[in-house]
Structure 1
């Protein structure tokens, strides 16, 4: 990666832009563009993507590396469910762990994350601090707590022994009116989207009932899916408030129920069984469903997950990258890159995986201003030293992260010299 170049006023009287990334190959969020380009940034927006040289007060030489939109992880859990059990431990996590974990995303080229089941107060306060600039981190989209049925997942599973966290990370509803009340409450808090949980995470085929079991937890738990009228009430109320609503599913019957109820997307999708309902795939296409496979968490546990995501991708269903990252396993940011690699291992092309991590993920988040390298879009960009459209593992070759028009990670050896500096 070449040195950054900043021209002086004498060299460059006609500088027009705040920042220009020069001479890079570009993946624009949909496809790789032919040739080399300059990308100009003014303030927090992309001003131009040009095959002709552009001039800026700060110029970064991409040295024919690759420039693409910052990566987006649409499914993660940020607060540590194992460490947070009262006000004191919550405060300790926010003061000591939270800033470091946020920084990890930017260090891996992840510029937007979507929290789908963190404590509402905590995650919205974190979102506000990032937006205000008092806390450095990626752009944060948040649903607040996840909404489930009485004694549903994850309230009666992951949080069974942690009642303090259970009441904050989840909202349990027993009927359609309670569902509507919770969705309205979250909408009043200005969440970015709604997440409903139709069922748990594992169907044990040896049991006649639906049973949740996870190797990390000692007990199995009998569960009942969220009733269809309650599910529909949540989706309709979310839409009334202008919010996208996605539904946690693992089985075909639950996925079909969610799609028919009007969901915008499926979190996990179909993981515990082979996807054999081809009419369901057609329904996903007809309804414009976004499918988030979360292979990072499901690949090892559920061998059908890979084949299922390949089936829906081949059919043309929109795939969004979401890792289901949570504290305690792997590394925030690095898990997102592994998710991109796992999608390719499942049979998607590197370009399909990149689309899932950029423009499709932005659509899933309801953020048309993100995920595309084009004029008028947010200037969230990464610069790589190698071609990710040929080898997806090259997303690990990060030279620079640009967030909201500012260079926030610079892995090059050269020191930038700013105009007049």
Structure 2
């Protein structure tokens, strides 16, 4: 909404006597910048109705007392289902009944109001999305790609799922040729996924591409793989775009990153992690194409060049977004996202840059302009903090209230 329209909407809203909910006397980070002074933020239904310097009245009120209101955080890269525990129908049911509800709640308890799953079993994650939307499950807004698409015997099929064939068939989509790629993307689009994720680094053994050693802290000895053939990469991106879906690509090397961007990828998952980012023209290409860069330091900080590469990209004006690559078995859902934000700051991003990456920037990557901004007409996903996150990103941990779709879902006051 243009600035003048936002101001008009706010003025009209102030004419109302009572709102559903009002957060009073708060500093505001609106998703891009801090607003000067103190504001009342009014909510009607699931939307923000007003951001007013004048006091407002609400049927329900949250006194911020000079604290901070920021948009709910968005983690654009998570893996929700437990890849170690889920190995058949019975273990899937046990996970969904015993573990899934509590893990969803952890995100809200840490201020993450939207998560994007980028490689979970398609049926399971879409059923979970529907249950959250219907109010059957308490959890953050869930966006999902369904399975990640890779080449035959690529990552994560032969790395993470090498000993788990049942999960391999469901968490990953392995394709051998262009037609299979197009068919799978169409199938996922028909299932109403929110985006498509391709994995560039890993393909069929006979692709003829240059082999390399895939490394990850969980696989210190490395696994030799080949990149997804260019024809398949292009087919996946083109088909996703034909269906109106954003397509992001898993990369770790400069060559793969360039190939993905030139093929039309909208974003890079991980970006460049296993080597220094020395190709300045690649950075310029990212800026020119508006490519989003998701550094996933929570998992990739073990690579010595990951922080420096992020700093170079951010300083050049690349659209950086927060995505932790959090998964079951390490750390804690929700807390891992906050650690990602702190690692991004440690890499050299300012707290304001990190906050933008976790709110309006992440919303842009998810093609959800209704999220990530504190302004009239936007979705009322909001956090109330006791301390200034623009001074210290660690203050995201000093959380008192979480509001999702206009309703208090966490209140520690």
TM-score (norm 1): 0.91
1:177 CA displacement: 1.0
Asked if the contact 1:180/1:234 (under 8 Å) is kept, the reply is yes
Report 1:221-236 matches (<5 A): 221-236=223-238
Q: Show structure 2 runs of 5+ residues with no match.
A: 1-15, 203-209
Is 1:79 aligned to 2:69, yes or no?
no
1:98 corresponds, among 100, 108, 112, to 100
Residue 177 of structure 1: aligned partner: 179
Residue 197 of structure 1: aligned partner: 199
1:191 CA displacement: 0.1
Residue 139 of structure 1: aligned partner: 141
User: 2-side partners of 1:342 and 1:220: how far apart?
Assistant: 24
1:221 CA displacement: 2.7
Supply the RMSD in Å over aligned alpha carbons: 1.1
Is 1:61 aligned to 2:63, yes or no?
yes
Asked if the contact 1:110/1:333 (under 8 Å) is kept, the reply is yes
SS at match of 1:195: strand
1:213 CA displacement: 3.9
1:217 CA displacement: 4.4
User: 1-side partners of 2:215 and 2:305: how far apart?
Assistant: 17
- Count of residue pairs the alignment pairs up: 391
Report 1:156-305 matches (<5 A): 156-199=158-201, 209-217=211-219, 220-300=222-302, 302-305=303-306
Asked if the contact 2:200/2:249 (under 8 Å) is kept, the reply is yes
Asked if the contact 2:211/2:227 (under 8 Å) is kept, the reply is no
Residue 112 of structure 2: aligned partner: 110
Deviation per CA, 1:50-72: give whole Å up to 9, x if none: 10111111111101000000000
Q: 1:218 to 1:297 in 2, by over 3 A?
A: closer
1:212 CA displacement: 2.4
Deviation per CA, 1:222-275: give whole Å up to 9, x if none: 211001110000000000000000000000000000000000000000000000
User: 1-side partners of 2:37 and 2:220: how far apart?
Assistant: 56
1:215 CA displacement: 4.6
Deviation per CA, 1:22-52: give whole Å up to 9, x if none: 0000000000100000000000000010101
1:180 CA displacement: 0.4
Is 1:386 aligned to 2:387, yes or no?
yes
User: 1-side partners of 2:101 and 2:380: how far apart?
Assistant: 22
Deviation per CA, 1:266-306: give whole Å up to 9, x if none: 00000000001111111111111000000000002x11000
Residue 361 of structure 1: aligned partner: 362
Asked if the contact 2:32/2:356 (under 8 Å) is kept, the reply is yes
1:154 CA displacement: 0.2
Residue 373 of structure 1: aligned partner: 374
1:219 CA displacement: 6.4
Q: Show structure 1 runs of 5+ residues with no match.
A: 1-13, 201-207, 413-421
Residue 345 of structure 2: aligned partner: 344
Asked if the contact 1:15/1:57 (under 8 Å) is kept, the reply is no
Deviation per CA, 1:371-401: give whole Å up to 9, x if none: 0000010000000000000011000000000
Deviation per CA, 1:8-31: give whole Å up to 9, x if none: xxxxxx742100000000000000
User: 2-side partners of 1:77 and 1:236: how far apart?
Assistant: 25
Residue 399 of structure 2: aligned partner: 398
Deviation per CA, 1:198-230: give whole Å up to 9, x if none: 016xxxxxxx94122445348643211001110
SS at match of 2:37: coil
User: 2-side partners of 1:405 and 1:310: how far apart?
Assistant: 35
User: 1-side partners of 2:100 and 2:131: how far apart?
Assistant: 12
User: 2-side partners of 1:282 and 1:212: how far apart?
Assistant: 26
Asked if the contact 1:71/1:371 (under 8 Å) is kept, the reply is yes
Asked if the contact 1:157/1:212 (under 8 Å) is kept, the reply is no
Deviation per CA, 1:311-353: give whole Å up to 9, x if none: 0100001100000000000000000001111011000000000
SS at match of 1:74: strand
TM-score (norm 2): 0.93
